[in-house]
C-alpha cells in the first residue's frame, strides 16, 4: 500500500454484530490513542443480511466496555456491497467462511484488498478470529482482534 492521506479499512464478519464491530472500535481506539484519527477511516459490515439494522450484540458491547474501548451505541449492522470495494483500501474478513461469502459479493480482488484478520497477527498460527456467537467466549475474540489490529496498524504505519 502506498503512502496515502487516509487509510480506509472495512472489517467484515457474518452478521456485523460481534467480531467486525469489535474490530472496528478496537482499531479506532488504537488509532485515537496515537492521535491518528484524521489518517484513518474505519467501518465494519456483514456478508449476510441476517442482522441488518441490529446493534452490537450485548455481550460484545460488555466486552468492549470491560476493556475500556469506546463504541457508538447507535451503530447498526449493514451488508457490504460490491461498490464498497472502491470505497476501501482494505477489506478485512474475520474468517475463511466470510472470504467465501465475499466471492459472491465481490467476485474479483485485482488490487489485493481482501485479507483475513489473523494474517496480521504474527505468530498466532490462527487462520480465523474465534467466533463468540458460537463459543460465547468474547475474551478470546477480543484477544484475537487486538493482535490482528495491532499487527495491521504496525504494518500501515511502517508503510507510511
Helices and strands per DSSP (H, E), number in the chain: 6, 4
Q: Is 75 exposed, middle or buried (0-12, 13-18, 19+ CB in 10 A)?
A: middle
| Residue 18 appears among annotated catalytic residues | no
Q: Considering the candidates 19, 63, 93, 144, report the single residue annotated as catalytic.
A: 19
The whole-number pLDDT of residue 130 equals: 87
**Exposed (0-12), middle (13-18) or buried (19+): which is 132, by Cβ within 10 Å?**
buried
DSSP lists the bridge partners of residue 92 as 11, 115
Distance, CA of 142 to CA of 56 (rounded, Å): 14
Cell triple for residue 157? 504505519
Catalytic residue among 84, 95, 131, 144: 131
pLDDT of amino acid 110: 97
Average pLDDT along the chain, 160 residues, taken 10 residues at a time:
76 98 98 97 98 98 98 97 97 96 96 96 84 94 97 93
Distance, in Å, from the CA atom of 105 to the CA atom of 4, rounded to the nearest integer, reads 26
Query: Among this protein's residues, is 13 annotated catalytic?
Result: yes
Q: What is the DSSP string of 69-120?
A: ----TT----B--TTHHHH-SEEEESSHHHHHHHHHHS---TT--EEEGGGG
Is 131 noted as a catalytic residue in this protein? yes
Amino acid at each position: 500500500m502506498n503512502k496515502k492521506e487516509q487509510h480506509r479499512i472495512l472489517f467484515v464478519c457474518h452478521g456485523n454484530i460481534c467480531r467486525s464491530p469489535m474490530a472496528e472500535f478496537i482499531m479506532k481506539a488504537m488509532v485515537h490513542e496515537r492521535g491518528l484519527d484524521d489518517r484513518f477511516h474505519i467501518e465494519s459490515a456483514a456478508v449476510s443480511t441476517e442482522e441488518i439494522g441490529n446493534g452490537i450484540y450485548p455481550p460484545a458491547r460488555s466486552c468492549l466496555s470491560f476493556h475500556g474501548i469506546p463504541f457508538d451505541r447507535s451503530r447498526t449492522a449493514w451488508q457490504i456491497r460490491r461498490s464498497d470495494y472502491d470505497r476501501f483500501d482494505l477489506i478485512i474478513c474475520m474468517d475463511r467462511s466470510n472470504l467465501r461469502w465475499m466471492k459472491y459479493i465481490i467476485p474479483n480482488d485485482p488490487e489485493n484488498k481482501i485479507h483475513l484478520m489473523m494474517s496480521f497477527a504474527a505468530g498466532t498460527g490462527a487462520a480465523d478470529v474465534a467466533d463468540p456467537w458460537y463459543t460465547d467466549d468474547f475474551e478470546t475474540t477480543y484477544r484475537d482482534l487486538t493482535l490482528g489490529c495491532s499487527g495491521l496498524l504496525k504494518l500501515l504505519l511502517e508503510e507510511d
